[in-house]
Amino acid sequence: MPCISDNSVTPLDALVVLTSLDADVGYHINRDVRPPLGIYNTSLSRVLNKLVKCCTKLEEYFKLSNNIDGLSVGDDLKDEVLDYIELALYSAAEHVDDIGLIASGFFEDTKKYKKSKPAKKLNEEVKELKSFISASINSIKHQQSRIRMYSVDISHNRKLLCLHGYFIEGVHNGTVGPNKIFHGKDNKIFSITSLVWEIICFILNTSRSLSVFLSTVCNIELKEHKQVGCESLNKAIIAAARLPLYSFDDSHPFSKTRLVINTSDVTLLNSSLYGSISYKWSNSNDMQFFRDRLGFVGDGVTKSFEFAKPISLGLQHWT
pLDDT per position as a tens digit, 120-131: 999 999 999 999
Q: Which residues contact 109 (CB under 8 A, 6 or more apart)?
A: none
Model pLDDT, residue 298:
53
- Angstrom distance (rounded) from CA 137 to CA 202: 15
| Cβ burial, residue 225 (10 Å; 0-12/13-18/19+) | middle
The confidence band for 180, taking pLDDT boundaries of 50, 70 and 90, is confident
Query: The pTM is what?
Result: 0.92
Phi, psi of 29 (to 5 degrees): -65, -35
Closest CA relative to residue 9, chosen from 264, 226, 205: 226
For the chain, give percent helix, strand, coil, nearest 5. Answer: 50, 15, 35
pLDDT digit string, tens, across residues 122-172: 999 999 999 999 999 988 886 667 899 999 999 999 999 999 999 988 776
pLDDT digit string, tens, across residues 191-249: 999 999 999 999 999 999 999 999 999 886 655 456 677 889 999 999 999 999 999 99
- Angstrom distance (rounded) from CA 258 to CA 277: 14
Model pLDDT, residue 228:
76
Model pLDDT, residue 302:
56
Is the predicted pLDDT of residue 51 greater than 70, yes or no? yes
